[in-house]
Chain A
Amino acid sequence: MANHTIAHNVYVPFLEKKGILSWILTTDHKRIGIMYLISISFFFLVAGVFALLMRYELLTPASDFVQPHTYNVLFTLHGSIMVFFFIVPGLAASFGNFLIPLMIGAPDVAFPKLNLGSYWIYLLGAAIVLIALAKPADTGWTFYTPYSATTDTDVVLITLGVFVLGFSSILTGLNFIVTIHKMRAPGMTWHRLPLFIWASYATAILQLLATPVVGITLLLLITERTLGVGFFDPAKGGDPVLFQNFFWFYSHPAVYIMIIPAMGVISEIIPVFARKPIFGYKAIAYSSLGIAFISFLVWAHHMFTSGISDIAATIFSFLTFLVAIPTAIKVFNWTATLYKGSIHLHSAMLYALAFIFLFTIGGLTGLFLGALAADIHLHDTYFVVAHMHYVMIGGTVMGFFGALHFWYPKWFGRMFNETVAKIAWLFIFIGFNVTFFPQFFLGVQGMPRRYATYPPQFESLMSLSTYGSWILGFGIFIMTLNLIAGLINGEKAPQNPYGSLSLEWQVPSPPPLENFEEIPHVTDWSYGYGKKK
Chain B
Amino acid sequence: MTWIPEVASNLASKVDGVLLLITLMSLVFFILITVVLVYFAIKYRRKSEDEETPYITGSEPLEIIWTVIPSILLIVLFVYGYVVFKDMRTPPKDAVEISVQGKQWLWTFDYYNGKKTINELYVQYNRPVRLVMEAQDVLHSFFVPAFRVKQDLVPGRYTQLWFTPTKIGTFDIFCAEYCGTGHSAMLGKVIVLSPEAYEIWEKGVKVDEGVGVASLPPAELGAKIYKEKGCNACHSLDGSKIVGPSFKGIFGHPVELQDGSTVDVDENYIRQSILEPQAQVVKGFAPVMPSFKGILSDEDVTALVAYIKTLK
Residues of A at the B interface (CB closer than 8 Å) are 67-69, 72, 138-140, 144, 146-147, 150-151, 234-235, 239-241, 274-283, 305-307, 310, 313-314, 317-318, 321-322, 324-325, 328-329, 331-333, 335-336, 338-345, 353, 356-357, 360-361, 364-365, 367-368, 370-377, 379-381, 441, 444-446, 448-455, 460-461, 527-533
A533-B55 contact in complex given A342-B46, A364-B26, A371-B81, C-beta closer than 8 Å: yes
Residues 61-100 of B at the A interface (beta carbon under 8 Å): 62-63, 66-67, 70-71, 74-75, 77-78, 80-86, 88-89
CB distance from A81 to the nearest CB of B (A): 18
Cβ contact within 8 Å between B18 and A371: yes
Residues 19-42 of B at the A interface (beta carbon under 8 Å): 19, 22, 25-26, 29-30, 33-34, 36-37, 40-41
Question: Which of A138, A146, A356, A452 makes the CB contact (< 8 A) with B139?
Answer: A146
A and B contact pairs by CB, cutoff 8 A, 29 listed: A146-B138, A147-B180, A240-B139, A275-B51, A305-B176, A314-B82, A317-B85, A328-B29, A329-B67, A333-B58, A335-B36, A335-B37, A336-B62, A356-B33, A361-B30, A364-B30, A370-B81, A371-B78, A373-B82, A374-B19, A376-B149, A377-B145, A444-B19, A445-B3, A446-B5, A452-B183, A453-B184, A531-B55, A532-B55
Cβ contact within 8 Å between A445 and B55: no
> Which residues of the partner chain A approach B30 to less than 8 Å between Cβ atoms?
360-361, 364
> Which residues of the partner chain A approach B66 to less than 8 Å between Cβ atoms?
328-329, 332
Question: Which of A343, A371, A444, A529 makes the CB contact (< 8 A) with B4?
Answer: A444
| B110 contacts chain A at the CB level, 8 A cutoff | no
> Which residues of the partner chain A approach B40 to less than 8 Å between Cβ atoms?
335, 338-339, 341, 343
Cβ contact within 8 Å between A67 and B240: yes
Residues of B at the A interface (CB closer than 8 Å) are 1-5, 14-15, 18-19, 22, 25-26, 29-30, 33-34, 36-37, 40-41, 44-47, 51-59, 62-63, 66-67, 70-71, 74-75, 77-78, 80-86, 88-89, 137-139, 141, 143, 145-146, 148-152, 154-157, 159, 172, 174-185, 187, 240, 242
Cβ contact within 8 Å between B85 and A240: no
How distant is the Cα of A239 from the Cα of B155 in the complex, in angstroms? 9
Cβ contact within 8 Å between B156 and A448: no
> Which residues of the partner chain B approach A146 to less than 8 Å between Cβ atoms?
137-139, 155
How distant is the Cα of A305 from the Cα of B152 in the complex, in angstroms? 6
How distant is the Cα of A372 from the Cα of B82 in the complex, in angstroms? 6
Cβ contact within 8 Å between B44 and A339: yes
Quick one: which of B19, B152, B185 has the most chain A CB within 10 A? B152
Cβ contact within 8 Å between A321 and B154: no
Cβ contact within 8 Å between A274 and B53: yes
> Which residues of the partner chain B approach A72 to less than 8 Å between Cβ atoms?
178, 180-181, 183
Cβ contact within 8 Å between A357 and B183: no
CB distance from B41 to the nearest CB of A (A): 6
How distant is the Cα of A433 from the Cα of B54 in the complex, in angstroms? 35
A343-B22 contact in complex given A240-B154, A276-B53, A305-B152, C-beta closer than 8 Å: no
CB distance from B236 to the nearest CB of A (A): 9
> Which residues of the partner chain A approach B149 to less than 8 Å between Cβ atoms?
376-377
Cβ contact within 8 Å between A446 and B58: no
How distant is the Cα of A450 from the Cα of B160 in the complex, in angstroms? 23
Write the chain A residue with the least CB distance to B65.
A332
Cβ contact within 8 Å between A531 and B52: yes
Cβ contact within 8 Å between A448 and B176: yes
10 smallest A-B Cβ distances: which pairs?
Answer: A234-B156, A446-B145, A371-B81, A372-B85, A373-B84, A451-B184, A338-B40, A364-B26, A530-B53, A530-B55
How distant is the Cα of A69 from the Cα of B187 in the complex, in angstroms? 17
How distant is the Cα of A360 from the Cα of B154 in the complex, in angstroms? 35
Write the chain B residue with the least CB distance to A323.
B74
> Which residues of the partner chain B approach A364 to less than 8 Å between Cβ atoms?
26, 29-30
Cβ contact within 8 Å between A374 and B159: no
Write the chain A residue with the least CB distance to B178.
A450
How distant is the Cα of A331 from the Cα of B34 in the complex, in angstroms? 11
Cβ contact within 8 Å between B19 and A377: yes
> Which residues of the partner chain A approach B82 to less than 8 Å between Cβ atoms?
314, 317, 372-373
Question: Which of B41, B77, B157 makes the CB contact (< 8 A) with A338?
Answer: B41
CB distance from A276 to the nearest CB of B (A): 5
Write the chain B residue with the least CB distance to A339.
B40
If A341-B40, A376-B85, A444-B5 are given as contacts, then 11 extra A-B residue pairs at C-beta distance below 8 Å, sorted by A number, are A67-B240, A67-B242, A234-B154, A305-B176, A317-B78, A339-B40, A340-B54, A343-B40, A374-B22, A441-B1, A451-B184
